[in-house]
Structure 1
Amino acid sequence: MSKTVKLRKGLDIRLVGEADKVTADLAMPKTVSIKPTDFHGLVPKMAVKPGDKVQAGSVIFFDKYNDAVKYVSPVSGEIAEIVRGEKRRILEVRINADANTEYVQGSPVAPASADAESVKQTMLSAGLWPFITQRPLGVVANPEAAPKAIFISGFDSAPLAPDYDFILHGQDEAFQAGVDALAKLTTGKVYLGLNAKVKADAALENAKNVVVNRFEGKHPAGNVGTQIHHIDPINKGEFVFTVNVQDVVIIGKYFLTGKFDATKLVAYTGSEATNRKYYKTVIGANVADLVKNNVAGDNVRVVSGNALTGTSIGAEGCLSYYDNQITILPEGDQYKFFLTKGWLGPGFDKFSASKLFPTWLNSSKKYTLDTNLNGEERGFVVTGEMERVFPFDILPMQLIKACITDDIDGMENLGIYEVVPEDFALCEYVCTSKVEIQEKVRQGLDLIQKECM
């Protein structure tokens, strides 16, 4: 049954640099990179070597411990390099892309009339399975797990987040086909979360085979973890699958055409970005050509994803597998005079989660914020800051401390099975300790996976 959830906790960080609702085509990037590091816990086993020719949909590597889960090329071209790090760990597989994409041709399948096993096998063989992540742990879903539900968030509330209503316009058929395929993977329901304050695009509003729930409130209202917690919380021993809306479309396109079409619209955002639009590109695209002439200064940080959870990739880096946004922020490596811009300054140009600065009186003002932490790591003490922005019925401070101290019983009792690192991004932002909270939560989840799963 559909419901509307009003969240009282959260925080909207109002940044300058939202992308205009304009679509622009990018030329096929010269280089595309698939990074095993985008899939936490993956140990890849290569299926190709440098010099091999591949098509879009060709298997690049697979999971060493579950060879049914395959990772495929988003473009056609030649394997240029396999980048390795310490202990020969594979960091990237770089592909020199062809100007015109050739596809591995599969067979279209009508998911609504297919049985569950054939849908699963189609997704596994076509390389679509990595689009599905599971909770607990926040990793690529285990094909043998039986999810009690599947969750899709139809909006993003993060800073400068892409507008999925704009992105999905005109893709009704592909989205519905993707939903129908996902529905075969669970005996439970497929839940679609929408923004209660905005009428969604027809692709979302008219979707069938889903239970629509609406969420009203500040970020993280659009996070799928928040929606799971308020609709169907996870207990120990249970699994929930999650999929991003753009990835649902990619899944749907495969079932309609038999082709692994990895194109997506990516929002180019941030105060230091110029020519901010939605660019049509592919998963893993090199951003060098886009960033080269579209930044306002030299001292910037290029982030794949949003400002809270994204990854710094540099001006020559590649879009991460699950990201639909590029954010260009001013680098915060400059000293600030303490009487004007520092800790004794009046703060007329500063955003604050509290009422420390007078800018709280203007609730519509947007800010240009840099990456400066404004301090070093300090004592992790109880302040009450995190509880004001964390809309879960979970004690965030106590759970984080349990993660830091490797307290397995404490983590289980405090709700570790419900959360992933992104759920704590706002906690990390407001906490005066400067502790890398998302990293600590990930370490806790890794310990739970090792000892309890």
Structure 2
Amino acid sequence: MFPWFKTERAVAPVQSIRTGAEIGRVAILGVDVPGLRPKMLCEQGSEVLQGQPVFHDRSHPDVVFAAPVSGTVESITYGPRRTLSALVIRLARHAASPKPASVDAGTAADLRAALLAAGLWPSFLTRPFGRIPTPDAVADTIFVTATGDNAQAPDAGVVLEGREDAFGRGIKALMLLTEGPVFLCQPPGKDLVSGLEDRIRIAQFASGPLTGLAGHHIHRLHPVRAGRMVWTVGYQDVATIGEWLETGVVNPTRVISLAGPQASSPRLIRTLAGASLTELIAGETRSGNAEPDVAVVSGSPVSGRPAAWLGRYHQQVTLCKAAPARRASPNRGLKAWLSPSQQSPAALIPTAALERALGFGVPVVPLMRALSVGDSDAARKLGCLEMTEEDLAALSMVSTSGADYGQMLRHVLDELAEDA
């Protein structure tokens, strides 16, 4: 656990959905799409309509990213090597409703083409590499994740109330994208959907820092190995796909948990994908202030990141007390934000906690050492292809070295992906 968990009590969010604060800006973030270099289809100041393509993957032009809302492109910023940092859209007030598209999804090829054209293809991520699938990729199996990695995540059953038909329609559509099974991984209890076909299999996992993660589900049910690719997709994306198949319109909203020890009223809220977190949390903190008094984290307290925008794959915003001071640190992400940093990495001390923090049955310390020195070949042999950054978040927390192993894993995965 991060230090603030030891001193601040985080109240469980009320599991009923309310409308969140009015949002004026949304963003599409490069950090959510590792390895992608965008080819822009708009420029700063452009007027865009909801569902309009705003950029595509330069290497795979069929992979389109669409504007989640209608408005004006406020800014486009880039990171190293012309990777995307953020594309920000300021919402147009009183914008006309998007025109429904005609969706032909009768065959696998039709569904694939329609998902690509609608900008819904980024709903899927691959194992290995944790990237968006190429347009011609075929999954050996698909995992739908409906579990949380912490006690403050939204209850999928609550989120899907009233959307059961859309969720079931989306689940069944996934069968066109794979010849293998589609696993619906959900908490024990009432099934989220009924009347499914044999190739759709329900697997029950308790929510938690390890058991709630897609990597744990994959390792248990269909491990990744050479020549095998699986896809993951979140349950809200599946419901969105199901609604889009029925209406021809992509729903830009997402239900998230607004939680954490500094949240004044922890609860579920409905907001926009990529929402400005400054706007979203206005008046929602115990102190009434935003940063620097409060650390705003997109995602869970375990695997989230300090952010100004809601992440594409996040279903939670966590508010906690910011560290009193920050110094130059080898850490990255949430750990660097919340913890006082060290001037240099400390020694790696093998402990029982390290073994418990990674549930893949691999030698933990050798993997950590391989990642620390960027030995991609050794990391691959030790099983890193099954993992993404979220799978190593708990490991980074309990490690004595002070390093962010998720970030190290990303460097290794990107190197292996380039060589694949």
> TM (normalized to structure 1)?
0.82
| Cα distance, 1:28 vs structure 2 | 4.4
Specify the alignment match of 2:274 in structure 1: 284
Partner deviation per Cα, 1:20-56 (whole Å, 9 max, x = no partner): 1232213541111111222111101100112322221
Specify the alignment match of 1:52 in structure 2: 46
| Cα distance, 1:89 vs structure 2 | 4.7
The match for 1:224 among 214, 239, 244 is 214
Contact in 1 for aligned 2:127/2:386 (Cα 8 Å): yes
Distance 1:326 1:147, change over 3 A: same
Contact in 1 for aligned 2:147/2:207 (Cα 8 Å): no
Aligned pairs for 1:159-238 within 5 A: 159-196=151-188, 198-200=189-191, 203-204=192-193, 207-208=196-197, 210-216=200-206, 218-238=208-228
Give secondary structure in 2 for the equivalent of 1:328: strand
Contact in 1 for aligned 2:297/2:318 (Cα 8 Å): yes
Distance 1:39 1:218, change over 3 A: closer
Give secondary structure in 2 for the equivalent of 1:279: strand
Partner deviation per Cα, 1:269-308 (whole Å, 9 max, x = no partner): 0100112221111111112233121111341100111111
Specify the alignment match of 2:66 in structure 1: 72
Distance, in Å, in 1 between the alignment partners of 2:190 and 2:164 is 15
Give secondary structure in 1 for the equivalent of 2:101: coil
* Identity percentage of aligned residues: 27
Opposite residue 119 of structure 1, the aligned amino acid is L
Distance, in Å, in 1 between the alignment partners of 2:103 and 2:138 is 25
| Cα distance, 1:206 vs structure 2 | 5.2
Contact in 1 for aligned 2:183/2:201 (Cα 8 Å): yes
Aligned pairs for 1:1-400 within 5 A: 16-26=10-20, 28-85=22-79, 89-101=83-95, 102-109=97-104, 111=105, 114-196=106-188, 198-200=189-191, 203-204=192-193, 207-208=196-197, 210-216=200-206, 218-297=208-287, 298=289, 299-313=293-307, 317-333=308-324, 371-373=338-340, 377-400=345-368
Distance 1:54 1:374, change over 3 A: closer
Opposite residue 363 of structure 2, the aligned amino acid is L
Contact in 2 for aligned 1:236/1:417 (Cα 8 Å): no
| Cα distance, 1:134 vs structure 2 | 0.4
| Cα distance, 1:108 vs structure 2 | 3.7
Distance 1:277 1:420, change over 3 A: same
Specify the alignment match of 2:330 in structure 1: none
Opposite residue 149 of structure 1, the aligned amino acid is T
Distance 1:137 1:269, change over 3 A: same
Give secondary structure in 1 for the equivalent of 2:355: helix
Give secondary structure in 2 for the equivalent of 1:307: coil
Partner deviation per Cα, 1:217-249 (whole Å, 9 max, x = no partner): 753111111001001111112100100001111
Give secondary structure in 2 for the equivalent of 1:241: strand
Distance, in Å, in 2 between the alignment partners of 1:233 and 1:61 is 33
Partner deviation per Cα, 1:40-81 (whole Å, 9 max, x = no partner): 111011001123222211001100000010000111112222
Give secondary structure in 2 for the equivalent of 1:308: coil
Contact in 1 for aligned 2:147/2:205 (Cα 8 Å): no
Distance, in Å, in 1 between the alignment partners of 2:373 and 2:151 is 31
Q: What is the aligned-residue RMSD (CA, Å)?
A: 2.2
Aligned length: 397
Distance, in Å, in 2 between the alignment partners of 1:431 and 1:206 is 45
The match for 1:408 among 354, 376, 379 is 376
Distance, in Å, in 2 between the alignment partners of 1:207 and 1:172 is 12
Give the unaligned 5+ runs of structure 1: 1-12, 336-369
Contact in 2 for aligned 1:56/1:104 (Cα 8 Å): no
Contact in 2 for aligned 1:404/1:444 (Cα 8 Å): no
Partner deviation per Cα, 1:109-142 (whole Å, 9 max, x = no partner): 4x5xx11110100100110000100000011112
Give secondary structure in 1 for the equivalent of 2:62: strand
Opposite residue 136 of structure 2, the aligned amino acid is E
Contact in 2 for aligned 1:58/1:104 (Cα 8 Å): no
Distance, in Å, in 2 between the alignment partners of 1:106 and 1:378 is 56
| Cα distance, 1:87 vs structure 2 | 6.2
Contact in 1 for aligned 2:108/2:176 (Cα 8 Å): yes
Distance, in Å, in 2 between the alignment partners of 1:266 and 1:138 is 22
| Cα distance, 1:312 vs structure 2 | 0.7
Specify the alignment match of 2:412 in structure 1: 444
| Cα distance, 1:172 vs structure 2 | 0.8
Distance, in Å, in 1 between the alignment partners of 2:204 and 2:30 is 34
Opposite residue 372 of structure 1, the aligned amino acid is S
| Cα distance, 1:334 vs structure 2 | 5.7
Specify the alignment match of 2:333 in structure 1: none
Give the unaligned 5+ runs of structure 2: 327-336
Partner deviation per Cα, 1:161-202 (whole Å, 9 max, x = no partner): 221111111111111121122111001010011223x334xx
Contact in 2 for aligned 1:57/1:104 (Cα 8 Å): no
Distance, in Å, in 1 between the alignment partners of 2:84 and 2:381 is 36
Larger Rg: 1
Give secondary structure in 1 for the equivalent of 2:281: helix
